[in-house]
Structure 1
């Protein structure tokens, strides 16, 4: 019931343009969606690269090896790499049985509808959160720096450029 209430609240606040309810910062709302999950909240000073993906999404799967290289490059530089899927962990486990070579080095969360609703609501493109992969870049202040969809060398470069400007070893 709490999850349903959280989803409805998120939909109302983020999608209702006539809402007079004060919108909290992305970081506060997003961290609320992480309560009682295996994903720790985004801490002050954390830079985050967030990905929404699915096992059935060919472009998502294709870009993951390059994204894993970025994770390795930015290890120990106060960057969080977090992946969300609307699918269940059981679907992911079944996928892994078929793709034994598959590896995704991001922190992973499955079935967190509250978090994915918040993330998809950030997509202001014509797709309005209906397309994946969806990338959300979060700066040190916990604010959304950029949101974009699709798997492409250009998007991988956007992630790298963002991290070059925002990641640190401190």
Structure 2
């Protein structure tokens, strides 16, 4: 029974990580921020970026937000950024959600109001995150919620920051 649980957990862990084919570039995507300013991912070139796709109605998305903020704070003095792209919701919905959060989120939140990222970037579900290297190339894809301060995630980020 213990071995069965172990293998089931291992399979779940492996299936939730997807190693990018190292050809997906994110430099050319752009979405408006909450103030309506168009933000292009080229603005983050030279930084390691955790690019997260989420929605306010998605419980795992909401659950991982505080750890994404802690991650941003941990690497505030390094070339690291968290960017969250909301899929399919309007500014009012997101602002109401942010007011209800116990912790202030200081990372950029962009709007994919029409859900274009599902088609253009192959978003398979929410939350879905990409770890981008300093050139804007995806080095890891994460499907499902994460505790971003966990050692496995920290190790991946620190490896990319050291490059």
TM-score (norm 1): 0.65
Q: Which runs of 5+ in 2 are unaligned?
A: 1-22
Query: Greater share of strand residues, 1 or 2?
Result: 2
Q: Which runs of 5+ in 1 are unaligned?
A: 1-23, 124-128
Deviations 1:54-113 (A, max 9, x none): 11111111111111111100002111210001211111123245x152532321112354
Partner residue in 1 for 2:26? 27
Answering whether residue 154 of structure 2 is matched by residue 166 of structure 1, we say no
The 1-side partners of 2:64 and 2:154 are apart by 13
Matches within 5 A, 1:60-79: 60-79=61-80
Partner residue in 1 for 2:91? 89
The 1-side partners of 2:81 and 2:26 are apart by 13
Query: Greater share of helix residues, 1 or 2?
Result: 1
Partner residue in 2 for 1:41? 41
**How many residues are matched?**
135
TM-score (norm 2): 0.68
The 1-side partners of 2:137 and 2:96 are apart by 35
What SS class does the counterpart of residue 48 from structure 1 fall into? strand
Partner residue in 1 for 2:127? 133
CA RMSD for the aligned pairs?
A: 2.9
Q: Give yes or no for contact 2:60–2:144 (8 Å, CA) kept in 1.
A: yes
